[in-house]
A and B are shown apart, each in its own frame.
Chain A
Amino acid sequence: MSVALERPAVQERTGRGIRWQRVGLHVFLAGAAILWLAPVLWTLYTSLRPFSDTAKNGYVSLPGALNFENYSQAWTQADLPHYFLNSLIITLPAVFLTLLFAAAVAFVVARLSFRFNVALLIVFMAANLLPQQVILTPLYRLYLRLPLPEFLSDSGLFYDSFIGLIAINVAFQTGFCTFVLSNYMKTIPASLGDAARVDGAGVLRQFFGIVLPLCRPALAALATLEFTWIYNDFLWAVVLVQSGDKRPITSALANLQGAYFTNFNLLAAGAMLAALPTLIVYALLQRHFISGLTLGASKG
Chain B
Amino acid sequence: MSEAERRRLQAAMGAGPRVTRRSLLATGAVGLAAVYGIGCGGDDDDGGGSSGSGGGGKPSGTVSFGSNYSDPVPKKAIHATLDAFTQQSGVKVAMNEVDHNTFQEQINNYLQGTPDDVFTWFAGNRMQFFAERGLVGDISDVWEEVGDQYSEAFKAASTGKDGKQYFMPLYNYAWAVWYRKSVFQQHGWKPAKTWDEFMALLKQIQSEGMTPLAFADKDGWPAMGTFDYVNMRTNGYDFHISLMNGEEAWDSPEVKETFKNYATLLPYSQEAALGRLWQDAAQSVADKKSAMMVIGSGQIGIQFTAGKTPTDDLAGMAFPEINPEHGQDAIEAPIDGHMMAKSPKNEEAAKALLKFLGSAAGQEAYLKTDPNDVATNETAATTKYNSLQKQSAEMISSAKQISQFMDRDTRPDFASTVMIPALQQFIKAPDDIDGLTKNIEQQKKSIFAS
Shortest Cβ distance from residue A170 to the other chain B in the assembled complex, whole angstroms: 14
Chain A residue with the shortest CB-CB distance to B99: A258
Q: Pick the residue among A145, A193, A195, A258 that contacts B102 (CB under 8 A).
A: A258
Pick the interface stretch among B4-12, B157-165, B381-389.
B4-12
Interface residue? B101 (CB, 8 A): yes
CB neighbours (8 Å) of A251 from chain B are 99, 102
Residues in B with CB closer than 8 Å to A260 are 72
Report how many A-B pairs have Cβ atoms within 8 Å: 94
At the interface with chain A, which of B14-22, B207-215, B238-246, B418-426?
Answer: B14-22
- In the complex, which residue of chain B has the Cβ closest to the Cβ of A155? B114
B16, A116: Cβ atoms under 8 Å? no
A200 CB to closest chain B CB (Å) equals 13
| A174 and B36 alpha carbons, distance in the complex (Å) | 21
CB pair A191 B102 closer than 8 Å: no
Partner of A242, one of B14, B21, B106, B279: B106
Looking at the complex, which of B38-46, B148-156, B324-332 is the stretch in contact with chain A?
Answer: B38-46
Report whether A142 and B39 are in contact in the complex, using a CB–CB cutoff of 8 Å.
Answer: yes
CA distance A108 to B306 in the complex (A): 61
Taking A144-B112, A157-B44, A258-B70 as contacts, is the C-beta distance between A116 and B1 under 8 angstroms?
no
Give a binary string over B88-131; 1 marks a CB under 8 Å from any A CB, 0 the rest: 00000000111111100010011011100000000000000000
Which chain A residues numbered 140 to 176 have a C-beta less than 8 Å away from chain B?
A: 140, 142, 144-147, 155, 157, 159-160
The smallest C-beta distance from A212 to any residue of chain B, in angstroms, reads: 17
Closest Cβ of chain A to B127, distance in Å, is 19
Q: Interface residue count for A (Cβ, 8 Å)?
A: 37
Contact status of A191 and B1, CB under 8 A, knowing A114-B18, A155-B114, A262-B279 = yes
- Closest chain B residue to A252, Cβ basis: B99
Indicate the member of B1, B21, B96, B114 with the most A CB atoms within 10 Å. Answer: B114
CB-based contact B18/A255 at 8 Å: no
For residue B145, CB closer than 8 A to chain A, the reply is: no
Shortest Cβ distance from residue B420 to the other chain A in the assembled complex, whole angstroms? 18
B35 in the interface (beta carbon within 8 A): yes
On whether the beta carbons of A147 and B38 are closer than 8 Å, the reply is yes
What are the residues of chain B within 8 A of A242 when measuring CB–CB?
Answer: 106, 109-110, 113-114
B13 touches A146 (CB 8 A): no
Given known pairs A244-B97, A258-B101, the reply for A146 and B38 (CB within 8 Å) is yes
Within the complex, what minimum Cβ distance (angstroms) separates B207 from chain A? 29
Chain A residue contacts of B144, Cβ below 8 A:
none
Q: Which chain B residues border A190 with CB–CB below 8 Å?
A: 9-10, 12-14
Instruction: Give A261 to B17 CA distance when docked, in angstroms.
Output: 62
Whether the pair B38, A113 counts as a contact (CB closer than 8 A) is no
Q: Which of B13, B96, B280 has the most CB of A within 10 A?
A: B13
Tell me, rounded to whole Å, the shortest Cβ–Cβ distance linking B78 to chain A: 13
Can you name 9 A-B residue pairings with CB atoms under 8 Å? A147-B38, A190-B9, A194-B12, A242-B106, A244-B97, A254-B102, A258-B101, A259-B70, A259-B99
A114-B18, A255-B70, A258-B100 given; name 9 further pairs at CB < 8 Å. Answer: A113-B16, A146-B35, A159-B113, A160-B113, A190-B9, A194-B13, A245-B96, A255-B98, A258-B70
- Give the B-binding residues of A (Cβ under 8 A): 108, 111-116, 140, 142, 144-147, 155, 157, 159-160, 189-191, 193-195, 238-239, 242-245, 251, 254-255, 258-262
Residues of B within 8 A of A (CB): 1, 5-6, 9-10, 12-19, 21, 24, 35, 38-40, 44, 70-72, 75, 96-102, 106, 109-110, 112-114, 277, 279-280, 283, 306
